[in-house]
Amino acid sequence: MKDFAVETAGLTKEYHIYDHPLERLKELFLKRARHKVFRALGPIDIAVRRGEALGILGENGAGKSTFLKLAAGVIEPSEGRITVSGKVSSILELGTGFNPEFTGRENVLLNAALLGLSPKHINKRIGMIEKFTDIGEFFDMPVKTYSTGMYLRLAFSLAVHVDAEIVLIDEVLAVGDGAYEKKCIDKIWDLRRNGITLLYCSHSLYTVANFCDRAMWLKEGRVQAFGDTKEVISIYEDYLREKERVESTEMPPLSNSVMRKVAEVKDIRLFADGQPVETSVQYLSNIEVILDFEVFEDTDVYVGFAVDRNDGLCYYADSMHKQGLEPFHGPGRERLTLSFKNLPILGGAYKIVIFLLDETGICIYDRKESIIFKVDTKEKEWGVCYLHHEWKR
């Protein structure tokens, strides 16, 4: 048996766009090209190990469904190849090949036959499928009378009861009700314990994080990140935040260009456990911020800081006023060290913003941002920062 359940090499899917279906027909027989090319996916080179669960992330239209369809063999790659070793069952784009006119039972029988199960084999399974679907007499009613939830239940129970070695799931669990969702999740865990390979495509990063060993982030048909689920999710989340960045509500610094400058931040340096920070820091490391600034006037200057995430969300902000500290008095060059013991921030991209303020805290003399740094977490914890907690029973 091969080590890899799914392997791709230069896998690419391009769609040809035609003005009219007839143009397409002509092209198949005549030489002249009559299309515009749209690349939906690729090139992609990945390998999914047997028994592994791969989460596929990405925005709408990123190529997730195209990838699953290629894996299911429903569409053929335009270039490159995808090798899938094992029997595949799939829930693609809300439902398998269900005929709305047929009853649930008839659709199960048809689709089981499509998956290559013999009638004898499927007759043994149909009881289990009916029980798992749990929609009562609707099982023997035409599928067109189903609610979306019932439709999904049927599709899901079918896909997980046909002894597939590779199961492809495209964004479905979210539509069922809570209790049923739990049942589906339990079933997937069951299958995973029995060693099936799972390709799971979802917008719910939380489920992906829990189900999947590795994840792949697709953007405009290309692999943007591939690897450990937690890392990929963290990179993807950073991207999403960056994209949806809320315009900062901070007050802009008072325009000092016309006035004389009162104070200026010269330099911000970051150290994590004594080492200069380049791009990332470890979760819970000790962070030191060394700040150089200059006060030009004979006046009091207070220092403030904020820890911001890359989408502009402020995690924490404080200033010398609030701590009752004495201000710096100019003119002169000053140095200040700000230290965080065991910085409790979970994965993401952050920056530290330094403010030089007047005695009211409202007037900002100067504002400067540190480099953006990432926090690496491989922990199973979920959320934005560590909260101190204890368990008792």
Partner 1 sequence: MKELFVNIYRGRYILENMVVKDIKAKYAASLLGPFWLVATPLYQILLYTFLFSTILKVRFEDNSGTSSFVVYLLAGLIPWLFFAEATSRGISTFIENAHIIKKVKFPMEVCVASVIVSSAVTFCIYMIFYLAMLIFMGLLKFHTFPLFIIPFVIQVLMILGLSFGMGSIAVFFRDITQATGMILNLIFFVTPIVYPSSAIPERFRWFFSINPFYSIVEMYRNVLVRGEAPDAFSLIYPSVFALVIFVAGYYVFNKTKEAFKDIL
- Residue choice 14, 24, 269, 385 for contact with partner 1 (CB under 8 A): 24
Binding mask 109-148 for partner 1 (x = CB under 8 A): xxxxxxxxxxx-----------------------------
In the complex, minimum distance from the CB of residue 109 to partner 1, in angstroms, rounded to a whole number: 6
Please answer whether residues 96 and 111 qualify as being in contact, where contact means their C-beta atoms are separated by less than 8 angstroms. yes
In the complex, minimum distance from the CB of residue 161 to partner 1, in angstroms, rounded to a whole number: 16
Between residues 70 and 306, which has the closer beta carbon with respect to partner 1? Answer: 70
| 323 binding partner 1? (CB under 8 A) | no
In the complex, minimum distance from the CB of residue 98 to partner 1, in angstroms, rounded to a whole number: 7
Distance CA 215, CA 315 (A): 27
Q: What is the DSSP string of 26-88?
A: HHHHSSS---EEEEEEEEE--EEETT-EEEEE--TTSSHHHHHHHHHTSS--SEEEEEE-S-E
Between residues 89 and 234, which has the closer beta carbon with respect to partner 1? Answer: 89
Distance CA 50, CA 46 (A): 13
Q: Which stretch binds partner 1 (CB under 8 A): 71-79, 241-249, 287-295, 344-352?
A: 71-79
In the complex, minimum distance from the CB of residue 90 to partner 1, in angstroms, rounded to a whole number: 8
Distance CA 293, CA 190 (A): 60
Q: Which stretch binds partner 1 (CB under 8 A): 19-27, 132-140, 218-226, 242-250?
A: 19-27
In the complex, minimum distance from the CB of residue 149 to partner 1, in angstroms, rounded to a whole number: 19
- Residue choice 5, 8, 41, 98 for contact with partner 1 (CB under 8 A): 98
Between residues 113 and 371, which has the closer beta carbon with respect to partner 1? Answer: 113
Please answer whether residues 352 and 268 qualify as being in contact, where contact means their C-beta atoms are separated by less than 8 angstroms. yes
In the complex, minimum distance from the CB of residue 99 to partner 1, in angstroms, rounded to a whole number: 5
| 92 binding partner 1? (CB under 8 A) | yes
User: Which residues have CB under 8 Å from 137's CB, separation 6+?
Assistant: none
- Residue choice 25, 33, 174, 384 for contact with partner 1 (CB under 8 A): 25
CB-based burial, 158-187: b 16+ in 10 Å, e otherwise: bbbbbebbbbbbbbbbeebeeebbebbeeb
In the complex, minimum distance from the CB of residue 84 to partner 1, in angstroms, rounded to a whole number: 10
Between residues 12 and 285, which has the closer beta carbon with respect to partner 1? Answer: 12
In the complex, minimum distance from the CB of residue 216 to partner 1, in angstroms, rounded to a whole number: 22
Helix axes 148-160, 119-133, angle to 10 degrees: 140
Strands 280-282, 275-276: pairing is unpaired
| 29 binding partner 1? (CB under 8 A) | yes
In the complex, minimum distance from the CB of residue 210 to partner 1, in angstroms, rounded to a whole number: 27
| 79 binding partner 1? (CB under 8 A) | no
- With CB under 8 A as the rule, give the number of residues binding partner 1: 33
| 106 binding partner 1? (CB under 8 A) | yes
Q: Which stretch binds partner 1 (CB under 8 A): 18-26, 259-267, 285-293, 384-392?
A: 18-26
HEC letters along 133-156: HCCHHHHHCEHHHCCHHHHHHHHH
Q: What is the DSSP string of 213-232?
A: SEEEEEETTEEEEEEEHHHH
Hunting for tokens 């220092």 — which residue is that?
Answer: 303
Helix axes 104-114, 119-133, angle to 10 degrees: 130
Report which of 245, 253, 281, 276 is spatially closest to residue 369, judged by C-alpha positions: 253
| 74 binding partner 1? (CB under 8 A) | yes
| 15 binding partner 1? (CB under 8 A) | yes
Distance CA 225, CA 86 (A): 26
In the complex, minimum distance from the CB of residue 373 to partner 1, in angstroms, rounded to a whole number: 46
Q: Name the site residues for partner 1 (rule: CB under 8 A).
A: 15, 21-22, 24-25, 28-29, 72-76, 92-93, 95-100, 102, 106, 109-119
